[in-house]
Chains A and B, each alone.
Chain A
Amino acid sequence: MRRCWFLALCLMAITRFSHAQLVDQSLSGLGKTSSRMWIELSTNTGHKPDDILKIKNAFPGYHLLSQCTGSFANEGYTEFALGLINEKEGKGVYAAVLNDPAKNDYRVVRLTTFAVAFNEKGWPENYMEVQCNSAMLIKRINRNLSKQRNEAGQPLGSLRALSNYDSICVSPFDKPHLEFVCYGYDFQKNGFVEIGGWSTP
């Protein structure tokens, strides 16, 4: 019994340490987090700093708080999903940066823009997060969701993969009862469309 509580205390210490793995999205940490995210984006993708700077300049006044890479509309190309906040204007945006192979350039597509309020502790009222999920992961999540119900017995949500390309799942600020809403590229509409989402109990 004593050993168990010692282990619990050790785990509690690890747990507190693991908080550092969360991205600091507080008002005081926005600048640092954003700088780190842009550098990570450059180093993780091998894109030239000039290219990254061009993308950064498409969002003046915004801090980058979450990013991931995938192939959303162009097979074999590295494309980005970004979550950004402008604390001075109280605005947020989730966006995709798509390759434009014909022009050897990038195209910024805004998935959703929304108001951002900060709570009493200086954090956004929702944790900003983007995930780049493969079509197979979308299908696995959907299969798991079909088995899950909340306490009222309602389904947690559903997803559909439009193609074999990667999808973008974002933590929505304008639908805070949902944990994630996902977007897939619709080649017929030549743009992103919602492909579902889910809540958590």
Chain B
Amino acid sequence: MAQRGAQDPFAGPAQATQPNIDIQFGSRANSSALTDYSRSVISDVANQAGVSSMQISSTSRSPEDQARVMYENLMAGTAPVYKAPGQAVVTTFKNARDAGLSAEQTKALMASQIRDFIDQGIFVSNHLGDPNVRNVFDVAPSSVSNPATFEAAARANPSVTKFLSPTNNDPAFHFEIVQPFLNFLIK
């Protein structure tokens, strides 16, 4: 299921062998959250599979974005049951609200806790993370001309840290790409 990248952590951004892959972004995806390195990796995967275009349906969310989404759902009374880490953030929301803190202060506290969790290696959402450290995004399977070959190429690519697909019960082609150390420093 998960693949561990054998990449050189000090390597610079990889260069796409053919830069002519047409990458579109869906309404929930933020094009700036796809790093140059990930763009080159996904282009390599597409080239290997003979795929010329794809749509990225979702990109990674910052702790602030995650806090905002959770805050809005909690205020609307429509927050679902989370696992323990998510429930801890919900408790922070309740404590902050009971203490009379403003919306901005509450969201800042929630984001701070989400960030603390990430620092420990715990993720409240699997779309959470700093794209310059671990770039997470989904590719819509319907946007890829040859899904089976694309999946095989993604699984075989050592720069893809984690890959999930409909065969893993994930509705999308889910990519997680740990960014090269040097790339992180340049940013």
Interface pairs (12), CB distance under 8 Å: A4-B100, A4-B105, A7-B99, A11-B99, A18-B88, A19-B117, A117-B1, A123-B120, A141-B81, A152-B27, A177-B126, A177-B169
Q: Do residues A26 and B28 form an inter-chain contact, with CB atoms below 8 A?
A: no
Q: Do residues B80 and A174 form an inter-chain contact, with CB atoms below 8 A?
A: no
Number of chain B residues close to chain A: CB under 8 A: 48
Q: What are the residues of chain B within 8 A of A171 when measuring CB–CB?
A: 83
Chain B residues packing against A (C-beta within 8 Å)? 1-2, 4, 27-28, 69-70, 73, 78-86, 88, 91-92, 95-96, 99-102, 105, 108-109, 112-113, 116-117, 119-122, 125-126, 162, 164, 168-172, 174, 178
In chain A between 73 and 117, which residues have their CB closer than 8 angstroms to a CB of chain B?
114-115, 117
The CA-CA distance from A51 to B4 in the complex, in Å, is 40
- Of chain B, the residue at the smallest CB distance from A122 is B121
Q: Do residues B122 and A18 form an inter-chain contact, with CB atoms below 8 A?
A: no
Q: A125, A145, A198, A201: which contacts B69 (Cβ < 8 A)?
A: A201
Asked if A123 meets B81 with Cβ closer than 8 Å, knowing A4-B102, A8-B109, the reply is: no
Interface check A15, CB cutoff 8 A: yes
Asked if A7 meets B120 with Cβ closer than 8 Å, knowing A12-B112, A176-B126, A176-B164, the reply is: no
- Of chain A, the residue at the smallest CB distance from B81 is A141
Q: What are the residues of chain B within 8 A of A157 when measuring CB–CB?
A: 80
